[in-house]
Amino acid sequence: MHTPFSVDTRTLGVTFPRPNEAQVVLWAPLLKQVSIKVYGQPNALPLRREELGYWCLTTDQIQPGDRYTFVVNGRDEWPDPTSLSQPQGVYGPSETLDTNLFRWQDQDWRNPALADYLIYELHTGAFTPEGTFAAIEERLDYLNELGINAIEIMPVGQFPDGRNWGYDGVFPFAAQNAYGGPAALQQLVDACHRKGIAVVLDVVYNHLGLEGNYVQEFGPFLTDNYSTPWGGAVNVDDSWCDGVRQFILQNALMWLRDFHIDALRLDAVHAIKDLGPVHILAELREQVDQLMEKTGRRHYLLVECDLNDPRFIDPRAEHGYGMDAQWIDEFHHALRVAAGEKQQGYYADFDGISHLAKSYRDAYVYDGQFSTVRKKRFGRRAETNPGQQFIVFSQNHDQVGNRKLGERSSQLYSFAMQKVMAGSVLTSPYVPLLFMGEEWSETAPFLYFVSHSEPALVDAVRQGRQEEFVDFQDDGPVPDPLDEDTFLRSQLQWPLLEQEPHQTMFRYYQRLIALRKQHPALRHLDRTTVAVAVNEEQQTLLVHRWHEKQQVLCLMNFSGTAQSVSIPDAGKRWQKLLDSADSQWLGTGGSADSLTDTNTLVLQPESLLVLSLGHD
């Protein structure tokens, strides 16, 4: 009999519930016959059909480390769609794994409060020259030195070959073999926890990749009722959707429970189409809450969402889906336009500094106004959601990598403006996210790269990138996503850390992060203790934050000339915490260390000034 679904343990695929006993569970509701072929054994082992489309077997003839495939309807042979390991890639057999064999050393680990997260997004293959989980582990001391306390790893579900952003994964349960596989990921998470670093894993539940995708051979994992920009939509509300929903829920719980992942970042949840009575995100929230109650460990669910709809982050008790936080692209868009980005494409909806001021106040820029890009009124106000429910950034993999030439801020803006942008994120009343390398003003691009082998898919990817940038021919040819050099160019250049001005930028980020941790007015993400004043003519912005007896002023000048600005509480002794124009940050010279008997001061061109008043 199929073991009922439980948050306590994974039941899909091959598991080892007791010594010398393997349990095999496969969801394949439309098949007539299923057996499991274990490499090295003469005969395939038949599975028994049970209710709701599940096929099951309990046996002592399968051990951890065995290679296997499923034989369906007596003829076709496929890897396990819930495989935990694909040591020979997407076309090879699956490998059994007992996740309970890993000896965790993180018993004293406590996941920080989400409001205290300082997130560092990285791509495993491009973060280091080696491109492995083990190589990330070797850089943890560096990340500690920077001051971040959470890494967000781009998707690691098995994808074709070894070069991919990760959003083309086809085995969501299997950690990418080119990165080191599942045991190496467990080792990395354990090491992160010993260093005081939380781990966020990017997961994709809105679509599946195309190459090496065999799920439709087993059942209706996809539906024709909806479509996504990346192919067929995952079936979470059509016929036979219950098995697909369990596939998603068990995957998410596996990462949290068996790999000790602290938080999941769910990719593009607006592309998950679910008209059922309980949205899949709300069901996931319920299951994760049950897991936390049983284990005593805390986990967060973070979403990328292109809808300014607080329903995604409102509590379930208030008819929301209960996600803990969402990425806020609009903060990024407004910031980029304020820094000089052209108002084209999706940036056409943003006027720069006034919209940035609105995002500081309201999180969403569009909360009911007409959007010229979307050609409709868009968004709804998020009035009661605290600051920790919004994640902001000046760069991320999408906003860099989806540019034609993959330019980072270092290639688009002056050194001075990069410092302003960093400060705007790290002094915000939201959870900040950095993209790997920005902290030293990395100059290498982050390009879109894949390593598909199916000729038709290769042609489609190349053609799609060409068409996406057909209006940008003056910039030169689109880098070929299939060319290995495109990937190699996207890897971080660690030697830059030993050079100027990169070393100074790293110290500047260290200082900003330290200030955020040290000062209550910056650390507490209370949206009711934020006031914003904007001067569009001057292109200056004043963000006033306070907590109990401490106040902090963050003054930003996005213009190319010095500007005189007024400050509140004139005559009090405001202390300078940081001035990006100081010579120590390779600026032209900043302001005095303290300000008294004046209500105005001069902000240098493209600069950030942070002042403090009261106890810290």
Is 199 flagged in the annotation as binding? no
How many whole angstroms separate alpha carbon 96 and alpha carbon 13? 9
Q: Average of pLDDT values for 504-512?
A: 98
How many whole angstroms separate alpha carbon 476 and alpha carbon 307? 33
At 269 the pLDDT is: 96
Query: Which of the following is catalytic: 211, 237, 267, 349?
Result: 267
Is 470 flagged in the annotation as binding? no
Q: Are 171 and 215 in contact (CB under 8 A)?
A: no
At 470 the pLDDT is: 58
Which class for 562: exposed (0-12), middle (13-18), buried (19 or more C-beta within 10 A)? Answer: middle
Q: Cα–chain-centroid distance for residue 146?
A: 19
Q: Average of pLDDT values for 533-553?
A: 96
Told to judge if 304 belongs to the known catalytic residues of this protein, a careful annotator would answer yes
At 472 the pLDDT is: 53
Domain ranges in the chain are 13-98, 528-613
What average pLDDT does the structure give for the chain?
Answer: 94
Is 514 flagged in the annotation as binding? no
Is the pLDDT at 360 greater than 70, yes or no? yes
User: Among residues 450, 446, 464, 330, which one has the least CA distance to residue 396?
Assistant: 446
DSSP 217-229: GTS--EEEEEEET
Is 519 flagged in the annotation as binding? no
Q: Compute the C-alpha angle 407/412/414, nearest 5°.
A: 140
Considering the chain, what percentage of its residues have pLDDT values greater than 70? 96
> Which of 3.30.230.70, 3.30.420.10, 2.30.30.100, 2.60.40.10 would CATH assign to domain 13-98?
2.60.40.10
Is 268 flagged in the annotation as binding? yes
Is the pLDDT at 340 greater than 60, yes or no? yes
Residues 165-185: pLDDT tens digits? Answer: 999 999 999 999 999 999 999
CATH architecture, range 528-613 = Sandwich (2.60)
Residues 178-225: pLDDT tens digits? Answer: 999 999 999 999 999 999 999 999 999 999 998 999 999 999 999 989
pTM summary value? 0.96
Residues 277-309: pLDDT tens digits? Answer: 999 999 999 999 999 999 999 999 999 999 999
How many whole angstroms separate alpha carbon 428 and alpha carbon 527? 10
Residues 563-602: pLDDT tens digits? Answer: 999 888 767 889 999 999 999 999 988 776 656 556 788 9
Fold match flag (13-98 vs 528-613) = yes
Residues 363-384: pLDDT tens digits? Answer: 999 999 999 999 999 999 999 9
Is the pLDDT at 15 greater than 60, yes or no? yes
Residues 103-131: pLDDT tens digits? Answer: 999 999 999 999 999 999 999 999 999 99
Q: Average of pLDDT values for 22-31?
A: 97
Q: Compute the C-alpha angle 347/349/352, nearest 5°.
A: 70
User: Among residues 473, 508, 488, 612, which one has the least CA distance to residue 555?
Assistant: 612
At 2 the pLDDT is: 58
At 595 the pLDDT is: 62
Query: Which of the following is catalytic: 168, 304, 341, 438?
Result: 304
Is 402 flagged in the annotation as binding? yes
Percent helix / strand / coil, the chain, rounded to 5: 30, 25, 45
Told to judge if 267 belongs to the known catalytic residues of this protein, a careful annotator would answer yes
Is the pLDDT at 421 greater than 60, yes or no? yes
Is 312 flagged in the annotation as binding? no
Is 270 flagged in the annotation as binding? yes
Residues 544-557: pLDDT tens digits? Answer: 999 999 999 999 99
Is the pLDDT at 606 greater than 70, yes or no? yes
Residues 37-87: pLDDT tens digits? Answer: 999 999 999 999 999 999 999 999 999 999 999 999 989 999 999 999 999
At 489 the pLDDT is: 97
Which class for 303: exposed (0-12), middle (13-18), buried (19 or more C-beta within 10 A)? Answer: buried
Q: Are 324 and 316 in contact (CB under 8 A)?
A: no
At 149 the pLDDT is: 98
Residues 433-489: pLDDT tens digits? Answer: 999 999 999 999 999 999 988 888 877 778 777 776 655 555 778 899 999 999 999
